[in-house]
Amino acid sequence: MSSADRDAPGFTTRILHSDRSDGIEHGSLHKPVHASVAYGYEDARDLAAVFQGRQSGYSYGRQSNPTVEALQRKLTRMEGGLGSIAFGTGMGAIGSTLFALLTSGDHMVSSSFLFGNTNSLFGSFGQFGVDVSFVDATSVDAVAAALRPETRLVFVETIANPRTQVADLDAIGELCRDRGLLYVVDNTMTSPWLFQPRDVGAGLIINALTKYIAGHGSVLGGAVTDTGLYDWSRFPNIFEGYRKQPPAQWGLQQIRKKGLRDFGASLAPDAAQLVALGAETLALRMDRACANAQALATLLAAHGRVDRVFYPGLPDHPQHERAARLFRHPGAILSFELDANVDLFGFLNRLEVVVSSSNLGDNRTLAIPVAHTIYHEMGPERRASMDIRDSLIRISVGIEDEADLLGDFEQALNASA
Ligand SMILES: *Cc1c(COP(=O)(O)O)cnc(C)c1O
């Protein structure tokens, strides 16, 4: 049972009533969008006090905004933690967080099964003197073998896209705790409704709000949440100036200053309002999308024109039991390979309900030919090393009526010879 169930009130109730519990403006049931960039003070000494951190308040929109802060509190309540910082995109959250925390000479261990742009970002860390070891994170042994004295953190995703490998989340959490390492978990694929990385000892949680949390494919956003489990006094890279408060605050403080403020990948207040609106139905949408995904994976696995199907909810998935133990549902992403005789683009073009598109977590079901799009840039050799075949299609399963979704795949497969 995850902490989402243990805590009262429940997960969705907490989201719905989060803004009210923080004090409501004008009786407004939704946090208003505060569009102002700057904030004025009648007494200039108050402005100075805000700048110096002696007084709470707002100064400039890149660093803080009341609408964005309301969303941050909501995200903290969803993940269970000390605090959150929102960014303009998921990549903004990952890049700003790691640039704020790592320095030349450091080493980090990352899963080799990563969102493509995260993989590309980590590939550039070498030019700043940060060495990254990419390992098969489905086994804690691979992570343990890669650790060095200068290792500062371990970064994994929960369910990897497109092949749906499930990281050895709880064992890696224990390893990080034993070694005093910061454990960073990208929870985008599962969202806090399916899984709370705090339960396996994560210190920082990344969420691409763009995907399931906002949900409707209409807004970009990202966030980092500090769970409070990591002891920042063990982290050598905290600047002297950020060590004044209790150590629990150090990490977020440095990410807020060196990441959010200095890189400026800030979330806009109108985007924050859309994310907050989407979050209200996260649990409802995910339950439905995951049920659809399970039904679709079962249909595809039994179809003669499909080779391999990758979905943690299928009993023959290598991490099926791990997913069943850790996650409320096995997610709403699956991928599959068409039989070699089936024309890939002909099949995709025959789908009528399903849209050929990138993105994940829209209410609509989206299909993308992986090797030809999101994995095109890495080239055929790297794809072969990751066992990404040309016939692989990733599906982000939406909330359509199940019969319509299954019927669409059936007609398109049956018409493909
Ligand atoms: C999409 C995604 C991101 C990046 O999010 P953006 O909002 O697109 O920048 C990061 N991690 C994972 C696992 C993702 O799926």
- pLDDT for residue 265: 98
Q: State in Å: Cα 115 to ligand 1 middle.
A: 7
Please give the domain boundaries of the chain with CATH numbers for all domains.
7-279 (3.40.640.10), 282-414 (3.90.1150.10)
- pLDDT for residue 7: 64
3-state secondary structure 212-241: CCCCCCCCCCEEEEECCCCCHHHCCCCCHH
pLDDT along the chain (417 residues), means of 10: 62 92 86 94 94 91 95 96 98 98 98 92 96 97 98 98 96 98 98 98 98 96 98 96 94 97 97 98 98 98 96 98 98 96 95 95 96 91 90 97 98 89
- pLDDT for residue 53: 85
- pLDDT for residue 42: 95
In angstroms, rounded to a whole number, what is the distance separating the alpha carbons of residues 88 and 264? 9
In angstroms, rounded to a whole number, what is the distance separating the alpha carbons of residues 175 and 239? 26
In angstroms, rounded to a whole number, what is the distance separating the alpha carbons of residues 363 and 47? 44
In angstroms, rounded to a whole number, what is the distance separating the alpha carbons of residues 289 and 361? 9
Q: State in Å: Cα 94 to ligand 1 middle.
A: 9
- pLDDT for residue 1: 44
Our answer on whether the CB atom of 219 is closer than 6 Å to any ligand 1 atom is no
Our answer on whether the CB atom of 118 is closer than 6 Å to any ligand 1 atom is yes
Q: Are 148 and 107 in contact (CB under 8 A)?
A: yes
Q: State in Å: Cα 42 to ligand 1 middle.
A: 42
- pLDDT for residue 83: 98
Query: Going by CA atoms, what residue is nearest to atom 8 of ligand 1?
Result: 90
Query: Going by CA atoms, what residue is nearest to atom 6 of ligand 1?
Result: 90
Q: How far is CA 213 from CA 219, 220, 268, 360, in A?
A: 10, 10, 16, 11
Residue of 87, 115, 155, 156 to mutate, ligand 1, most atoms within 8 A of C-beta: 115
pTM: 0.96
